[in-house]
Amino acid sequence: MADAHSTESNYLTATTGLKSWLFTLDHKRIGLMYLVGVLVFFLAGGVFALTLRTELLTPQGGDFISATTYNKMFTLHGAVMVFLVIIPSVPAALGNFLLPLMLGAKDVAFPRLNLLSFWIYTLGSMFFLFTLAAGQLDTGWTFYTPYSNTTGTAVISATFGAFILGFSSILTGLNFIVTVHKMRAPGMTWNKMPLMVWALYSTAVIQVLATPVLAITLLLLIVERTLMIGIFDPAMGGDPVLYQHFFWFYSHPAVYIMILPGFGIESELIAVHSRKHIFGYKAIALSSVAIAIISFVVWGHHMFVSGQSELAGIVFSFLTFAVAVPTAIKTFSWVATLYKGSIEFNTPMLYGLMFLFTFSIGGLTGIFLGALSVDVHLHDTYFVVAHFHYVMMGGTIIAFVGGIHHWWPKMFGVMYSEKWGKISALFIFVGFNMTFFNQFLLGQQGMPRRYWSYAPQFQQQHILSTVGGYLLLVGFMIIAIYLVHSLRNGEKVGPNPWNAQSLEWTATASPPIEHNFHGQPRVENDPYNFPEIDRTGSSH
Amino acid sequence: MGDHAKPAKNHAFFQHHFNTVGQQAGAAKMGMWLFLATEVLMFSGLFLAYFVVRALYPEMVLSSHELLDKTMGGINTVVLLTSSFTMAMAVRYAQLGDNKRCATQLLITLACAFIFLGVKYVEYTGKFSHGIFPGGYFHYDEAAQYAHSHGHSFRGLPHVFFGLYFVMTGLHGVHVLAGIGVIVWVYLRAKRGDFKDGYYAPVENVGLYWHIVDLVWIFLFPLLYLVK
Amino acid sequence: MPTAASTFAEDTDNLYFFITALDTLFFVLIMGAMGYFMWKYRRRSKDQKTSSITHSGVIEFLWSAIPTVLLLVVFIWGECDFVRQSVAPADPLEVRVTGQKWYWTVEYPKYPGVSLNSSTEEPALTLMVPKGKPVRLTMTSTDVIHSFFVPAFRVKRDVVPGRYTQIWFEATRIGEFNLFCTEYCGDFHSNMTGVVKVLEPDDFERELIKAGVLTQEEGESMAAYGERIYKRRGCVACHSVDGADGTGPSWQGLYGRTESLSDGTTVKAEDQYIKDSIYEPNKQVVAGYAPQMPSYQGQLDNEQVTAVIEYIKTLK
Ligand code: HEA
Ligand code: HEA
Ligand code: CUA
Ligand SMILES: [Cu+2]
């Protein structure tokens, strides 16, 4: 039905002027604004990272930046990447754009709240920028007490920024939950929702349940800092380890806030570009929910050597392994989806396959960290740094970049250069593994993290890691260039260039019209029933 | 999903992106409940901190809490319970489309909220005047003397208890303030006669919020004032 | 993994290698399957038929159950080692460790007067232990959280202010090993390193006392003794003697100088003030510096303070 109206105005052209963007209630525009914000901060976070890497070229400190600057850099890098990039990346940017389209709704349930959430995000990031200007902060993204109570830098403005960002995240989550419950098109039963929607839904549940705890933790930290209440600071009779419990109670579920949407994208990429029904739909959908639940009870695995009780350590280790099983199920299901498919190696699919490679390494190295005695050795070394980059960068960011390529024709109605897409994917694959695989080797040799200078025997791997970092920069630069280029010069595409089966492709134009659909779409088909699927079940 | 068979009514407050008024009301209600869940979770973090402190220093908590005024706390509990009742009445009248009665009930609720804050003000300034300031500003000697003149003595680190007291009641106070804001808003709308034909979601949601504020106090009061 | 030099190291490494093998197996399986499918089912024609399989109960059960069992094995293995490593055997050698920005101090209750310090220049060592005898460390911090990590021993434990945490180990190899601080603790976190020296039990006591007891030597001047204290007790970490600014003010030209303090007053830096600065450093804080200096009350005796003052006098 979309083809008939393909010449009429779309959501990009419906209204014009800056105001029509900044005060828009259209979920698609809000999603795009988030996307721009997220990418700008990704660039900033990447520049901070390369500053770190450059300093680490030599073992002695001070060749490039001072210890103080180094400490501020990794704090900013971690905090920007976590709070400003990865948490909003998939849900707030792509999710906002896609959720109503995939459900067959005209908008999210609360469009005003959605806009508010974007503005809160902007405000929170302003606070972070203010932190940059106001002497910066050097606590690490974890803000551990008592260090964060005593250090002279701008802890208050940064934590307040994170506190504000928390609200943005809560509002988005709340909006998504209600949207999924109340706004599904006729015929869209829970079992016909694309897996991306399931993933956004589970993510939203964690956002709503866990973020308030972060809010109160940061609030307590601020009060502790300003009024010296004495709950975390041992000098005042408090317990510094209590802070860690609070922090990880949020931040462990937060790592699944980061990865679940990535899983959602992965399911779409693998199924659509191999034109195969996703394998084990129910298992993938329900394992997200299982992860969402179990993720709340494993936070203590960040504290095996912090002096928490031995029993606590044992329980947390057990639960950590429990949460790995649903992830294993997903991984196997994606690979099985490829079986007897029709696999096309276009750019989105390359990222889909790259995800399987890098995320598996990241997840599998989580097993080392979950094992108590081994974690004693690996905790706070580069092994942990490598692990979380493999899951966050190699998982979520790779999926995110794949998702951007997959939905780019939908968002803008144009196609980018496939050739450059493949070249940059190669840069990113090589650069990424070079940067971070070396860090596993460093970590197991005992190289501690957050070190500005280090013992000479570690230099070789550090150099390789730095070179890899620069390759990543090149790769992302290429992407940025050809994507921007495609906006003007890209080949125009029809509503459904991938020939996919979910509503955002079958029932809307590219780019979609302002109100998404003409009339009310109805859903009969399952989103993964591709026309090529051989009904007889026989194969060749 | 609601019943999409029913056509969208041309209701004054109907938003286009919904299919039916029922769907819109259902969404609003669900959103509100989720929001309340986040509030409860946020306070539960504070309660957790409280229980940790209490487990670490049971003597200290016991000896310090004696200085809180049970009478004033009790009065405030009664005041808030009353306001919850009048709030419920306001919702009922809004449901019936009786904007006038609804406004009256809201006014009483507002009055209760102000009484609550007034009593808190008296309590806070009373504490301040005896050196009981939050956290690091706590004057131990002055406070201990004050405790002594009331026949109590501190054990351990009373500033931690009072620090928590100020944070918990302070955050609750902020919620009361926000409550006053939204009650004034629905009061103005009731005055304007907005609530009719089964449209009363704003009053209902403000009501739910107010009950949660009340509920938090119902926990704060015994934990802080009546420790035994 | 780095050189294995304690009784735990082998256990930890065994599990490490088991997980490596397990992970490699699964990784190869997954990537193998992926690679094979990528090649076999690459798109050859636009309307290439694909299979209608959507799920398979048996396979899905198997690939949930097998990892669960394997993970359970890893869990139990790690847990048993961890528990064993938590309980020190009877009668270990007791050592007290104090972490502070940015060095470690080590004392031995059995050998009063012995104190080793990681910011020393000569000899560079922090902890001396005999080979083949269990050692138990009781650790605390005077400021923020640090973490005590000896990779060769596979031990690590946070060192928390206001608390005592313990670890134990038994060294199995003579040699010198790295000691790192692995909890971020501020500017010079990465310099909070040291050396652990494992000695033959026969040499241990003699070497320890030689290295750890700081007394004025025969014929040594007070100023020279002061210089040794400066290097051995960690002042060097924050104070330079050549005018370079550090965490604390340089000692060059300090004696007799008029210092402005952070409360706006001034004071002439002479014996009493310097002594107070060492015992109660945060009472009079020099303007422009954070009150970061720890107190040395009970750590430096009167004679040693006098020696430091004599040394400072020589720094014109
Ligand atoms: C996207 C974010 C993300 C994700 C998904 C994960 C996933 C996992 N993480 Fe990770 N983690 C982080 C982000 C993430 N983590 C961050 C940011 C930190 C550090 C924070 C800081 O200190 O700054 C961290 C730190 C961290 C620690 C603390 C280390 C330390 O500080 O000492 C631990 C310990 O248990 C851990 C474990 C795990 C496990 C078991 C998983 C599992 O969920 C992984 C499950 C996946 C698989 C297992 C792979 C696929 C499965 C198969 C191929 C099947 C077959 C497998 C077997 C049979 C083994 N992580
Ligand atoms: C999402 C999370 C995320 C991502 C993506 C990254 C990305 C990178 N990180 Fe990391 N990192 C963290 C989260 C992340 N990081 C966290 C949480 C910490 C812990 C902090 C702490 O200890 O407190 C950390 C710490 C950390 C350290 C350890 C510091 C230390 O302990 O001393 C190092 C060191 O090498 C490092 C390096 C890198 C590098 C080289 C990249 C590279 O992959 C970056 C490559 C990216 C670019 C170069 C930007 C290019 C972008 C554009 C050109 C814009 C256009 C883009 C598109 C159109 C797609 N990071
Ligand atoms: Cu001490 Cu890091
Ligand atoms: Cu975790």
Secondary structure string (H, E, C) spanning A77-111? HHHHHHHHHHHHHHHHHHHHHHHHHHHCCCCCCCH
The residue to which tokens 């928490």 are assigned: A308
- State how far the alpha carbon of A126 is from the alpha carbons of A59, A122, A138, A222, A523, in Å: 35, 6, 18, 18, 42
Q: How many CB atoms lie within 10 A of CB B196?
A: 13
Structure tokens at C77: 């293995």
Supply A22's token pair: 């900044």
Q: Closest residue (by CA) to atom 28 of ligand 1?
A: A302
- Amino acid symbol at A64: F
What's A297's DSSP letter? Answer: G
Q: What are the pLDDT tens digits along chain C (316 aa)? A: 888 999 989 999 999 999 999 999 999 999 999 999 999 888 888 777 878 788 888 888 898 899 999 999 999 999 999 988 888 888 899 999 999 888 898 989 888 778 887 766 555 667 999 999 999 999 999 889 999 999 999 999 999 998 899 999 999 999 999 999 999 998 889 989 989 999 999 999 888 888 877 788 888 888 888 988 888 777 887 888 888 887 889 998 889 888 888 888 888 888 899 999 998 888 888 888 877 787 888 778 888 899 999 999 998 8
B27 domain residue, yes or no: yes
Query: What is the A162 CA–ligand 4 centroid distance (Å)?
Result: 19
Nearest CB among C54, C184, C191 relative to A450 is that of C184
Across the 540 residues of chain A, what is the mean pLDDT of every consecutive 10-residue run? 55 82 89 95 95 94 88 91 92 94 91 94 86 77 85 78 90 94 90 92 91 88 82 80 89 91 95 91 89 89 88 92 92 93 93 96 95 94 97 96 96 94 96 96 94 92 96 97 93 90 89 87 85 60
Among C284, C282, C283, C273, smallest CA distance to C308 is for: C273
Contact B45 A174 (CB under 8 A): no
The SS3 of residue C11 is helix
pLDDT value at residue A538: 45
- Tens-place pLDDT, residues B61-93: 777 777 788 888 889 999 999 999 999 999 999
Q: Are A442 and A458 in contact (CB under 8 A)?
A: yes
Task: Tell if the CB–CB gap between A219 and B163 is shorter than 8 Å.
Answer: no
Contact between B77 and B218 (Cβ < 8 Å): yes
**B5 has a pLDDT exceeding 50:** no
Which structural domain, as residue segments, surrounds residue B99?
21-226
Please state the domain count of chain B. Answer: 1
- Residues with Cβ–ion distance below 5 A, ligand 4: A 252
Identity of the residue in C55, C68, C74 whose CB atom sits nearest the CB atom of A371? C74
Do the Cβ atoms of B166 and A219 come within 8 Å?
no
Give how far B9 is from chain A: nearest CA, Å.
16
For A450, phi and psi rounded to 5 degrees?
Answer: 55, 35
Phi, psi of C96 (to 5 degrees): -110, 130
Most distant pair of Cα atoms in chain B: their distance: 73
Report if residue B2 sits inside a domain. no
Nearest Cα residue in chain A from C23: A364
- Residue B56, min C-alpha distance to chain A (Å): 9
Give C-chain residues touching A152 at CB under 8 angstroms.
Answer: 290
SS3 C177: strand
Task: Tell me whether residue B4 is in a domain.
Answer: no
Q: Where are the domains of chain A?
A: 19-506
Q: Take residue C68 and report the two structure tokens written for it.
A: 């669960």
Among A89-93, B110-114, B128-132, C191-195, the least confident range: B128-132
Q: Choose among B16, B26, B35: nearest Cβ to A106.
A: B16
With contacts defined as CB-CB under 8 Å, which chain A residues touch C237?
none
- For testing the chain A interface, which of C27, C41, C193, C292 should be mutated: the one with the most A CBs within 10 Å? C41
Q: Which atom of ligand 3 is nearest to the CA of C145?
A: 1
* Structure token pair of residue B49: 């901190």
> Given B38, B49, B137, which is nearest A220 (Cβ)?
B49
Residue type at position A172: T
Residue B1 within a domain: no
From residue B117, alpha-carbon distances to B80, B176, B215, B221 in Å are 10, 8, 16, 15
- DSSP letter at B221 equals I
Cβ–Cβ below 8 Å for A178 and B159? no
What pLDDT was estimated at residue A240?
86
Q: Which atom of ligand 1 is nearest to the CA of A367?
A: 40
B52: in domain: yes
Domain ranges of chain C: 93-212, 222-313
Q: Which ligand minimizes its atom distance to the CA of A316?
A: 1
Class of domain C222-313: mainly alpha
Which distant-in-sequence residues (6+ apart) come within 8 Å of C313 by Cβ? C223, C255
pLDDT score, position A540:
39
Any chain C CB within 8 A of the CB of A147?
A: yes
Using a CB cutoff of 8 Å and minimum separation of 24, what contacts does C310-313 make? C310/C221, C310/C222, C310/C223, C310/C225, C310/C226, C311/C222, C311/C223, C311/C224, C311/C225, C311/C226, C311/C227, C311/C229, C311/C230, C312/C226, C312/C251, C312/C254, C312/C255, C312/C274, C313/C223, C313/C255
Question: Are the C-beta atoms of A518 and A507 separated by less than 8 Å?
Answer: no
pLDDT of residue A1: 38
Query: Quick check: CB of C183 below 6 Å from ligand 3?
Result: yes
Q: Assess contact for A210 and A296: CB atoms under 8 A.
A: yes
Instruction: Name the nearest CA neighbour of A124 among A38, A59, A64, A62.
Output: A38
Domain C93-212 has CATH 2.60.40.420: yes
CATH of the domain at B45: 1.20.120.80
**Of B109, B120, B115, which Cα lies nearest the Cα of B171?**
B120
Query: What's the Cα-to-Cα distance from A464 to each of A38, A61, A389, A459, C283, rounded to whole Å?
Result: 28, 18, 16, 9, 49
Here the tokens at position A522 are 């109805």
CB contact under 8 A, A238 and B160: yes
Asked if residue B4 has pLDDT above 50, the reply is no
Q: Ligand 4: distance of its center to the CA of A425 in Å? A: 29
| Pairwise CB contact (< 8 Å): A215 & B137 | no
A353 touches chain C (CB under 8 A): yes
**By C-alpha distance, which of A4, A42, A133, A385 is closest to C182?**
A385
Other beta carbons within 10 Å of C22: 17
Flag whether B63 is in a domain: yes
| pLDDT-based confidence at residue B6 (cuts at 50, 70, 90) | very low
Interface test mutation site (partner C, options A75, A149, A342, A525, max chain C beta carbons within 10 A): A342
Architecture of domain A19-506: Up-down Bundle (1.20)
For ligand 1, residues with CB inside 6 Å are A 142, 255, 258-259, 301-302, 320, 323-324, 327-328, 331, 360, 363-364, 366-367, 369-370, 375, 379-380, 384, 387-388, 391-392, 395-396; C 22, 26, 30, 67, 70-71
Task: Write the residue in C26, C37, C187 that is nearest to A364 by C-beta.
Answer: C26
Q: How far apart are CA A70 and CA A55, in angstroms?
A: 8
